[in-house]
Amino acid sequence: MTVTATSVDESDRLRPRPASGPWRARLVRLVPAAAAALSGVLLYVSFPPRALWWLALPAFAVLGWVLRGRGWKAALGLGYLFGLGFLLPLLVWTGVEVGAGPWLALVAVEAVFVALVGAGIAAVSRLPAWPLWAAAVWIAGEAVRARVPFRGFPWGKIAFGQADGVFLPLAAVGGTPVLGFAVVLCGFGLCETVRLAVEGRRTRAVRRPAAAVALLSVAVPVVGAVAARPLVSDKAENGTATVAVIQGNVPRSGLEFNAQRRAVLDYHARETARLAEAVKAGKVPRPDFVLWPENSSDVDPFANADARAVINRAAREVGVPVSVGAVVERDGKLLNEQVLWDPVQGPVQTYDKRQVQPFGEYLPLRSLLGLINKNWTTMVRQDFSRGTKPGVFDVEGTKIGLATCYEAAFDWAVRDTVTDGAQMISVPSNNATFDRSEMTYQQLAMSRIRAVEHSRTVTVPVTSGVSAVIMPDGRITQKTGMFVPAYLVQKVPLRSSKTPATELGVLPEIALVLVAAGGLGWAVGAGLRGRRAGEA
């Protein structure tokens, strides 16, 4: 019998070991998913109240790296993770008073649009000059999201994070679509520039056409923004107006403050009386008109004599017209209305909010939601009706365009006040429901974008803060704190010229959607031809 000895080293080699290869492969596969989610968070950090607008560029650079060359299934998942990373923290304010359920549901639905955009970006990433097509696909996704479902939800448009950025003048060229396109194009161009640089170092070869396109993708948006700066001006074209903005504050934050509607009205009347005393004492100039916020009178002044008396007294004390945000019931309809209240004649002009907020001012799918949770239906007992005409108040020749709160997020709702002759814009809002969340700062940034987009002064009277006066170049010249009573008085320029963005309206957005459609068609056609060639 022969005995074979086995050495210690050989026995160690033959002993079974844990399979590290599969685990390492799984970890490697998780890297794109983690990168997609974290780049979404990075995009969120670029939004107000932080002035870190430039973080949007590396956010899209990383997204481009993650999606480039992926199949559509993987791109859907990665796009969804990017959407969650971006929208979960951005929209957390939507659950301040109603709980996490509606917030998570909103984000889950909105992230689907981002997922579809991710699949589109992956498809066009194989084309020459892919940053151009990919940026257009992103804007096409924003265009869809701003319209469906329930008339759309444009919150989180890339343009709304750029109020402090170098690209801001592009808002005057083509509105939020062109501004957002420039930012996304620059981010994807940065991705392609870095990728080609790494590839060139490895292969020691430079693909000049591709490199030129990548560099142009970064340079053209920046150069375009610099070239557009002359469109941004705060020069008065039609004289000036002295405007007063009232922030009366609320008894307490949250939805329950509506139970104290009379107190909110009294607070705004009291702050207006303080303004009148300051005017009489010569501390501030006499305003030409006074702007109250949305919901400053949730007691219907047309049906309630007490509310009417309070507003009448406030207008007479200050001696000039007051724009009052009121909840009005007329002909069986509930309306979110701005009422111009003359100190002598009383109510003389009205504007009914046209873009009412789903699940806040009206309840879609009411019967279905009632089956899920009856408390949700009781929070919106009666749906608000929509107005039909743009709001422009004429105060002794000064024309004030009105976009009430949520309407500031919609391009058309602000633009048509300017095309109807508005020389300045007011965005009366009520943010008390959302406590001290970032919502008020995000909405304030939207108003800054609108100021540059249409070259108009924008005032933002808010019940509980932050109220502000914004110049046509997007600068905030005065603002209040949150949950404090205050008034702002300032002489502001009136302007009547129209920017290219105002004149062009929706055309730049349509053009970018067509570019996206062309790129996707090209990509699909190329894929089909490649598949047929492979089969042959």
For residues 285 and 487, what is the distance between their CA atoms, to the nearest angstrom? Answer: 12
Contact partners, residue 282, CB within 8 Å, separation at least 6: none
Residue linked to tokens 């500031």 = 408
Which residue out of 142, 271, 294, 337 is catalytically annotated?
Answer: 294
What's the token pair of residue 193? 């520039």
For residues 78 and 63, what is the distance between their CA atoms, to the nearest angstrom? Answer: 9
Triad 128, 129, 134: Cα angle to 5°:
110
Q: Which residues sit opposite 204 in a β-bridge?
A: none
Helix (H) / strand (E) containing 342: strand 333-342
Return the SS3 of 435.
Answer: coil
CB 98 within 8 A of CB 256: no
Residue linked to tokens 């319209």 = 147
For residues 383 and 374, what is the distance between their CA atoms, to the nearest angstrom? Answer: 16
Return the SS3 of 468.
Answer: strand
| Cα-trace Rg, the chain | 28
For residues 210 and 199, what is the distance between their CA atoms, to the nearest angstrom? Answer: 12
CA 23 to chain CA centroid, nearest Å = 41
User: Does residue 353 carry a catalytic annotation?
Assistant: yes
Which residue out of 399, 405, 453, 479 is catalytically annotated?
Answer: 405
CB 362 within 8 A of CB 380: yes
Phi/psi region, residue 177 (left: phi>0; alpha: psi -120 to 50; beta: rest), is alpha
The edge-to-edge listing of strands for the beta sheet with 333-342 is 346-352, 333-342, 322-330, 289-291, 240-247, 486-493
For residues 10 and 234, what is the distance between their CA atoms, to the nearest angstrom? Answer: 83
For residues 224 and 173, what is the distance between their CA atoms, to the nearest angstrom? Answer: 9
User: Does residue 97 carry a catalytic annotation?
Assistant: no
Active site residues: 294, 353, 405
